[in-house]
Amino acid sequence: MALLNALRGSGRLHRWAFWLLAGLATLLATGSWLAALAVTAGLVLWLAAGWHFDAADGRFSLLPPRVRWINAVCLRLLPHADSDTPARNKLRGTLWMGLRGLYFYPAFAVLALSNPWAAAWGLGVLLQGPAYYLGGRLAPPRPAVRLAEALTGLLFGALVALATPN
């Protein structure tokens, strides 16, 4: 899933192809139709509902309603100030991206039908924020997005593997 998400993030793979190939890869890796359907549907929700680049900017009117709650939480915990440092802005962005990862959590709720631990493993989607932060720290700006997308795909793939009974 790391390669697929990196290709999607770079614009080389259309979202429909990403969803279908990620579901197929999950089926091949796990042998579970339930896991494949859960991952495909979860990625549709994650990408369609949770993705928006105007993260943590404080301009609620410009954000779609589906992501305003993320801004509200982030700004409550780390309000904007004139003295904001780049480190504080990165921390706010890390929190924002971590909360955005929750849009993939419903896949783990479905996986919990066959493995009760899936609900617990699904909380790992909150690590999407640190994955993006790490990608930004390890690479120059343009490849940083691809690296962050690959790290997120690796994280999600590992979580699905842990949540799927073998």
Q: Are 126 and 101 in contact (CB under 8 A)?
A: yes
**Helix pair angle (128-138, 86-100), 10° resolution:** 140
User: Which DSSP category does 10 fall into?
Assistant: T
Residue 56 has pLDDT above 60, yes or no: no
Residue 60 has pLDDT above 60, yes or no: no
State how far the alpha carbon of 76 is from the alpha carbons of 28, 80, 89, 130, in Å. 43, 9, 14, 19
CA–CA separation, 59 and 158 (whole Å) = 35
Residue 83 has pLDDT above 80, yes or no: no
Residue 57 has pLDDT above 70, yes or no: no
CA–CA separation, 105 and 108 (whole Å) = 5
Q: Please, which residues have CB within 8 angstroms of residue 126's CB and are 6 or more apart in sequence?
A: 98, 99, 101, 102
> What is the average per-residue pLDDT within 21-39?
94
> What is the average per-residue pLDDT within 50-69?
60
More confident residue, 109 or 53: 109
Q: Which of 16, 18, 36, 34 is CA-nearest to residue 26?
A: 36
> What pLDDT does residue 32 have?
92
* Total Cβ atoms within 10 A of residue 11: 9
pLDDT-above-70 percentage for the chain: 90
Q: How confident is the model at residue 11 (pLDDT cuts 50, 70, 90)?
A: confident
